Amino acid sequence: MTTLPLDILYEDNHLIAVNKPAGLLTQPTDQNDTSLEGILKEWIKEKYNKPGKVFLGTIHRLDRPVSGIVLFAKTSKALSRLNASMRSREMHKTYHALVEGKPPKEKDTLEHHLRHDDYRAEVCRSDHPDAKHAKLHYKILKYNEQTTLLEVVLETGRYHQIRVQCAAMGCPIVGDAKYGSRKSLPGGIIALHHARLEFIHPVTHVKMCLEAPSSL
């Protein structure tokens, strides 16, 4: 198991949140078992001297080239309650995205219908049998002559949603060649960062707001 320094944002008996570096898988795949989940399990096992397997439930995933907050459940009770919170859209995610060019408006709501295969998503007609409604809100945080830093708030959580919708308005995310970016970043990463996560703690019922600094 490859070890990396972990940026722990929050931990208690029920939850642990980590600032994932861009370029690292959230969960292992058949082709690659080096992942944030695996590294974190090893870290928990060593820190708490746990015998046997460590339980760790992934609440949400980030694409490999994306950085930012990933939340894990340390118990099955926390996992089931947070999954229910995700399904009922009680969990609020805010991203920072550095895009090429400048959007047509200072702030706006984007709505599309998306479909996807295993590797790529695309905008499609609403009557397509695989179409799923996608909605987000953005506002401009900073602009220079070539790129714009956006704050993006998701209303839905579709596959590659921010990447596709930014590209659809003519402003692909910097480094995201899959969706039309003309700029490249080291290691195939893209300039998208999960910066803030708001949710209700599944056990204490306290409102939580986790933030992860970004270099965008």
Residue type (1 letter), 82: L
User: From 3.20.20.10, 3.40.50.10800, 3.40.50.970, 3.30.2350.10, which CATH number describes the 8-211 domain?
Assistant: 3.30.2350.10
Residue with tokens 């306290």: 206
pLDDT in tens, the chain (216 residues): 445 689 999 999 999 999 999 999 999 887 767 899 999 999 999 999 988 899 999 999 999 999 999 999 999 999 999 999 988 889 999 999 999 999 999 999 999 999 998 889 999 999 999 999 999 999 999 999 899 999 999 999 999 999 999 999 999 999 999 999 999 999 999 999 999 999 999 999 999 999 998 888
Taking the C-alpha atoms of residue 214 and residue 27, their distance in angstroms, rounded to an integer, is 22
Q: What are the helix (H) ranges across 48-176? A: 76-87, 161-168
Beta pairing, strands 192-200 & 67-73:
parallel
| pLDDT score at 124 | 95
> Helix, strand, or coil here: 59?
coil
Sequence letter at residue 148: T
Tens of pLDDT, residues 125-147: 999 999 999 999 999 999 998 99
CA separation for the pair 155, 161 (Å, rounded): 10
Give the pLDDT confidence score for residue 89 in this predicted structure. 86
> pLDDT at position 4, please?
67
- Known catalytic residues are 63
Q: What angle do CA 143, 198, 25 make, to 5 degrees?
A: 75
Tokens of residue 61, six digits: 């995933």
Helix (H) or strand (E) holding 37: helix 36-47
| pLDDT per position as a tens digit, 41-64 | 999 999 999 888 999 999 999 999
- Considering the entire predicted model, what is its pTM? 0.93
- Give residue 41's pLDDT: 94
68, 61, 180: which is closest to 120 by C-alpha? 180
